[in-house]
Amino acid sequence: MEKTAKTITSSLFSFLFRDFNPAVSIPRFLFCRRCDKINLRYFSKGSDPFKRVGPFFMDLMFWFILISILIFGLIAGSFANCAIFRFGEGESALDGRSRCPKCRRELAWYDLIPVASFFILRGKCRYCQKPISWQYPAVELAVAGLFCAAAWRFYPAVFAGHFSFFPLLELSAWWIFLAAMAVVFAADWRWYLIPDGALITGLIAVLALRAGALAQDFFLFGRPDFAALADPLSAAAFAGGLFLAMFLASRGKWMGFGDVKLAFLMGLALGFWPVLLAVFLANLFGAIMGLVMVSAKKKKMSSPIPFGPFLVAGLLISLFFAPAILDWYLLAG
């Protein structure tokens, strides 16, 4: 009886926090642990999942999960495209059927398959033969790549078939945040505006992330660690304050108010040192791009370059590589 209770508790623990692998945990949970005849022998060899399930199955699992995440990312990317273009045309992101932006014909489902449709149609609308923006497949592929990168960075065990509740919640929040940042990047690039809808979506994802961390602390240690919020809050105040000062000093000429809100959100998502790195990288990219533009005589010194894409680029590099970069910097310096 006591043993059963312990098994249930430890299964619940692994389901909530770590190492929950349906292919391993469920058979172990359902079948008697002492009786090899009832237990699936394949699943019960030792405690190492590689030995239990076998390298071949792990490989299969890895590719299955990777391809699933890619497909999921492509679908999210096509929603992001939809949000970008409808934002530019002043429509709501969610209602109405998808139409060709040029001839306004409603599109069938087979014209809306991420990436594939673009190449099957050779980049032209089926009805009016006008070119389809290359931004559609680019955003879809970028979001799919970001989804895989986030899984690798925040929950690598998912590739071995682990599906625990809190890590998966955290990963989903990062996915939503990253899709919103893809919208910010492309909308600012294309329309010189950062949609509030994308910033609010990103904010909700980050708040869910922080709330999830507090809930996890509460379940593990009996009380949420509110002191951990000091780092993201100070980072948001610093980054948001810095950009607000630049916005006010230049009266909106150097950057728009959207950049101020974006910097605030980045601080909240990254924490203090990573957001410092992200802002530094964004300014570096902006300066390099400005010099390239001026020397190529494409733009004059005074013509606007949207700053949002540089901020998002800095954010992504910092999000995925900050630990490595900061380690390298601290060791080198």
Binding residues (CB under 5 A) for Zn ion: these are 100, 102-103, 125, 127-128
Cβ distance to Zn ion smaller for residue 133 or 172 = 133
Q: Helix or strand or coil: residue 307?
A: coil
Could you tell me the smallest distance in angstroms from the CB atom of residue 63 to Zn ion?
37
Q: Are 272 and 234 in contact (CB under 8 A)?
A: yes
Cβ distance to Zn ion smaller for residue 99 or 299 = 99
Cβ distance to Zn ion smaller for residue 100 or 233 = 100
**Token digits of residue 183:** 């919208």
Cβ distance to Zn ion smaller for residue 51 or 102 = 102
Cβ distance to Zn ion smaller for residue 10 or 129 = 129
Amino acid at 187: A
Distance CA 39, CA 120 (A): 49
Q: Are 105 and 114 in contact (CB under 8 A)?
A: no
Task: Give one word for 315, left, alpha or beta, with left for phi > 0 and alpha for psi -120 to 50.
Answer: alpha
Neighbours of 267 (CB within 10 A): 29
Tell me how far CA of residue 115 lies from CA of 19, 77, 154, 233, in angstroms. 34, 10, 26, 39
Cβ distance to Zn ion smaller for residue 113 or 229 = 113
Could you tell me the smallest distance in angstroms from the CB atom of residue 174 to Zn ion?
35
Could you tell me the smallest distance in angstroms from the CB atom of residue 124 to Zn ion?
8
Distance CA 331, CA 325 (A): 10
Cβ distance to Zn ion smaller for residue 86 or 162 = 86
Q: Are 202 and 177 in contact (CB under 8 A)?
A: yes
Neighbours of 251 (CB within 10 A): 7
Could you tell me the smallest distance in angstroms from the CB atom of residue 221 to Zn ion?
58
Could you tell me the smallest distance in angstroms from the CB atom of residue 133 to Zn ion?
12
Amino acid at 2: E
* 196-221 and 55-88 helices, crossing angle to 10°: 140
- The residue with tokens 């607000």 is 244
Could you tell me the smallest distance in angstroms from the CB atom of residue 12 to Zn ion?
54
Could you tell me the smallest distance in angstroms from the CB atom of residue 82 to Zn ion?
16
Could you tell me the smallest distance in angstroms from the CB atom of residue 108 to Zn ion?
12
Interacting residues of 205 by C-beta distance below 8 A, sequence separation 6+? 173, 174, 176, 177, 180
Cβ distance to Zn ion smaller for residue 100 or 204 = 100
